[in-house]
Every structure is written in C-alpha cells, then in structure tokens.
Structure 1
Amino acid sequence: MERKDNGRLEGRTAIVTGSTYGIGEAIAKVLSSEGAISIITGRTDEEGERVAEEIKSAGGAAEFHHLDVTDEKEVDEVTRATYEKYGKIDILVNNAGIAGPNKPTHEYTREEWEYVFDVNVTGAFLCTKHVVPYMKKRGGGNIVYISSIYGIVGAQDIPAYHATKASNRIMAKIDALLYAKDNIRVNSVHPGFIWTPLVKDFLTDQSENLGGTIEDLRRELDAAHPIGHIGEPNDIAYGVLYLVSDEAKFVTGSELVIDGGYTSR
C-alpha cells in the first residue's frame, strides 16, 4: 500500500497486535499509509518482518516486535521499548486472537476454553493495561478492540471465540468510561465475514464436514450478504482508521459493525 498525502495520523505511534497477516496486517498498513509509525507485533517473526519491510518499501514507517500477548513480560517489554524510542504511544489496536476448536460447548476441555480466553481476552487486557499509563502521560490516545459480529449476535460454531468477542465488546465500553477523563477514546470494531485465514479455515472445515467445494461454499457465503460478497481486510482497516483519527473525536464506547449488511436481516 502506497503512502498517501492526507497524513491523518502523521507522526503518531500505533501498536497493532496480531499484525503479521490478515486484518491486523491490513490495519498496520493503512495506518502507516496515513503517517503513523506502525509497530507490527505477533508470534511469527518472519511474517512480521515481511509486513514491516513492505510498509517501509511503500514509504511508511514500521518496525516488528515479537509478541505473545499472553506473556505479560513481553507485553511490558514491547510497550516500554516503543515509548522509550518514540516518547509516546498514541494508538493501540487489540487485534490478536485465535478461533479455538469448532465444536459444541460441552465437548470443550477446560484447557481449550481457557486458552482461547487467555489469548483473546486476557491478551487484550494485558496490552491495554500496559499502554494506558503511557497514553495518560501523553495526554490522550485511542484504543480499538477488534471484536466480531458474533460479539453481538449468536452463532452455532466456535463458541469460545464468540464468547471472547462479546467480552471484547464490553471491555471497550468499560474502558471508554474509565478513561474518557484522560482523553483516551476506546471503541470496538465488529467484522463480519472477511476473507482471511480464519474464514478460509472455516470454509475448509465446512467442506470436509458437510461436503461441497470451498469455491461453492464461498459463493453461498457471498450470497448471504445483502451487499453481495464477503469483505476484505482493508474494509476493516479503514474503519479502524476512522476511529483513531481526529474525525472521530466525539466517538467513544461505540461499536462499528462492518459486515456488508449480514446482521441487518
């Protein structure tokens, strides 16, 4: 993605968790295209370095830090290193997450259930915990939780994932109330079906269990959306860009649904 001239985030520092692929990668690239310094984080070093290099090749600013959001020591190290280098942390996007097993609730082991919560909920908590003090020093900031449409409505699959996304939705509202006085805005974004590895894996699983080709299932999924197709990672990235920009200065505690009309039926 080429650097743009608008500069809506010029000079701001943005930590994007889980930004080595998919939606997180798109968010990091869009923010950098508008002038932000994107701190790429994730557990796959090779992919993280790739994303950072692609941003820099396009004229943006970025660097990669290895980060497992469930490891508080690593979270502290990455946030501290970012603050010490740039003197501020303006934006945090809590995007890192896993789907977990796709089976009924009663078939989960406790360990399986808790691991999904550890990554998706506790990981987001740890990042917010360590970023907020730096934002307060700065005099403000923006936090975005990447939730899901299934943080608002129910579904008959991956129950732990959906439960964590409901948690992310409420975490954003709580933080919005707690930190409004500190000029820290907090919102949640709720993607519908976006063509990412998670959705590809979902269709692969459906194909194996129910039959039919992935291509046929993709067409059925496209047709289920009033707009006629599922989304792309950039559709979410531009929603995040709006929320962390000055154009959204009166927006906090809100939930931005980006789903092609899927949940409007």
Structure 2
Amino acid sequence: MGVLDGKTALVTGGASGIGAATCALLAERGARVLVTDIDDTRGTAVAAALGDRAAYLHTDVTKEPDVADAVAEAVTRFGRLDCIVNNAGRVGAWTYLEDTSVEEWDASFAVLARSAFLGTKYAARVMREQGFGSIVNVSSVAGIRTGFGPHPYGAAKAAVLQLTRSAARELAEFTVRVNAVTPGGVATRIVGHGAGLEDAELDASVDAVRQGLRSFQPIPRAGEPDDIAQAIAHLASDDSAFVTGQNIVVDGGLTLGKSWPSNYAREARAASNRTASA
C-alpha cells in the first residue's frame, strides 16, 4: 500500500527536472498523476513511462483557460483532485536592474507567480467543495535570499511564498492545505536555460551543473530533482495533514551562509603545513 493510494495529483512543468521527478515519485507512492507542460514530447514520454497511472495534457500555465482546463481534466479523468503542484518555471535573463526590460519582468511573473495563483485559484474551487486537498507551490532560495537569481525571478519567487501564506490562511477552514517547497541549487535543464544554453546543449549541461554545485552548497553535492520531489510528496500525503502555510527549504544548507570558523581553520592548517615543510 502506498501512502498516496487513491489520490490524484496535477503537476505543472512535469516534463522534466523537478516536475518529472515529482510525477514519478507520486505515481510510485500510489497517486494517479496528470502531467502538464508545454513540451509535448517530453511530457507525453513522462506520462507514458508511468503507465495507466498517468496522463499528459498540454498546458500553458500563463493562460487562465489552460489552467482551468487542466484542473477540470484531472477531476473528469480521475474523479477527484487531492493535490496540485505548481512547479512550472523559468529562470530568465541575468541583467542589471537598469537593463531589465518590462517584457522580461512580466514574462517571469507570468510563468512563476501568475501560474501559482491560477493553479491555486482553480484547485481551491474543487478542494473547498471536497473539504480536503493539498496545494504545493515550488519557490526558490532566490525568493528568500539575494544573489541566487535574476531580479524578476527572485521577486516572483518571493511572491509565490506570500501567496502560499495568504491562501493557506483563507483555505484552512476547509481543510485545504497550502505549502511551499524552496529548492537550492538543483541539477536540472532549467539551470542550463538560465545560463543561456540552447536546447541541444541542455542535457549535457546537467552533468556540468551537477559538478559545479558540489562546492556551492554546505552538503558537498548538487541537489537532485528527487530531493525536491521527496519534500513535495510528503506535503501531498496525509502524513502532513496538520501542516499548512509553511515553506520547506531543501537546499543542502545553502542559505545557512559560509562557515567562517571552518574556513579559517582550514586556511590556518594549510599555512601551518606550508611553514612546516619550508
């Protein structure tokens, strides 16, 4: 028996990275999953790999009718909606603030913040009537600390966290829970997109990102999509039935900052060794 047996989940941005890992883990634990994305080739493949526990639907999360249709499809196909994971994302261009265009700002907010709002809005209508449900919004360390993403990206991810809290307060009386998961540095294709790589380069870039992140976070390895999926699956399950309005940071300790004492001790030892060998 899986902890998600009998439950239905809808995952946006489910074609790759964190979204694909989340779809796979939710299905493994017993859920039926509606995979949504704009990458039809990858999204269809993710759903097909999960068998009759999953289906794929093309969904542009910046468009209200698409999100409304996705929620309706989950309910029509599977009879209910227990969890929605608002995961679809983009990094966008790294530019100085004065060089950031209004178009870039609006595009980031559309994919990151508007999509979370729309997913929450339409899932809440179903879940309020049901009297239960879990909404999980995927944020980023860029939403709680500076320097981890472009200005529009960080601002939009911070907006997702405030939406999570305000929606959780409104929906709690209906036993509808709203929580967020905040990843740190994770080896995914979206990181390659943020670095300006073309689609043909993205798969190869994931390994390069993985290597680079080894020294980037206190736990000396890159975050993997499954690390984030594990936290999402917990919030989707009844194991977290009394948890709402919370943000689970899954970042390998990245937001703890640099460990000055240990760095100092390491440098002191190196200096001592150099002196001894002189």
Distance in structure 1 (CA, Å) of the matches to 2:42 and 2:186: 20
Q: Percent identity?
A: 36
Distance in structure 2 (CA, Å) of the matches to 1:217 and 1:179: 38
Alignment partner, residue 52 of structure 1: 47
* Residue 72 of structure 2 is aligned to residue 77 of structure 1: no
Q: Normalising by structure 1, what TM-score?
A: 0.89
Cα deviation, 1:42-77, whole Å, max 9, x if unaligned, reads: 001111110001111xxx600000000111111122
* Residue 94 of structure 2 is aligned to residue 102 of structure 1: yes
Structure 1 residues 218 and 29, CA, compared in 2 at 3 Å: closer, same or farther?
closer
Structure 1 residues 122 and 12, CA, compared in 2 at 3 Å: closer, same or farther?
same
Deviation at 1:227, TM superposition (A): 1.2
Alignment partner, residue 81 of structure 2: 89
* Residue 20 of structure 2 is aligned to residue 20 of structure 1: no
Deviation at 1:201, TM superposition (A): 4.0
Alignment partner, residue 34 of structure 2: 39
Structure 1 residues 126 and 217, CA, compared in 2 at 3 Å: closer, same or farther?
closer
Structure 1 residues 217 and 236, CA, compared in 2 at 3 Å: closer, same or farther?
closer
Deviation at 1:225, TM superposition (A): 1.6
Match of residue 234, structure 1, among 226, 241, 254: 226
Distance in structure 2 (CA, Å) of the matches to 1:214 and 1:204: 13
The letter for the 2-side match of 1:22 is G
Is the 2:20–2:46 contact (alpha carbons within 8 Å) kept by the matching residues of 1?
Answer: yes
Q: Alignment partner of 2:50: what SS?
A: helix
Length, aligned pairs only: 250
* Residue 24 of structure 2 is aligned to residue 29 of structure 1: yes
More divergent stretch after superposition (107-116 vs 74-83) = 74-83
Query: Could you say what the CA RMSD is over the residues aligned between the two structures, in angstroms?
Result: 1.9
Cα deviation, 1:159-195, whole Å, max 9, x if unaligned, reads: 1111111111111111110100010111100000000
Alignment partner, residue 189 of structure 1: 181
Is the 1:144–1:189 contact (alpha carbons within 8 Å) kept by the matching residues of 2?
Answer: yes
Instruction: Specify every segment of 5 or more residues in structure 1 that has no aligned partner in the other structure, as ranges.
Output: 1-5, 206-212
Structure 1 residues 219 and 89, CA, compared in 2 at 3 Å: closer, same or farther?
closer
Q: Normalising by structure 2, what TM-score?
A: 0.85
Query: After the TM superposition, which residues 243-262 of structure 1 pair with which residues of structure 2 at under 5 Å, given as runs?
Result: 243-262=235-254
Distance in structure 1 (CA, Å) of the matches to 2:206 and 2:23: 29
Distance in structure 2 (CA, Å) of the matches to 1:227 and 1:77: 41
Distance in structure 2 (CA, Å) of the matches to 1:182 and 1:214: 41
Q: Alignment partner of 1:106: what SS?
A: helix
Structure 1 residues 244 and 156, CA, compared in 2 at 3 Å: closer, same or farther?
closer
Alignment partner, residue 2 of structure 2: 7
More divergent stretch after superposition (98-107 vs 216-225) = 216-225
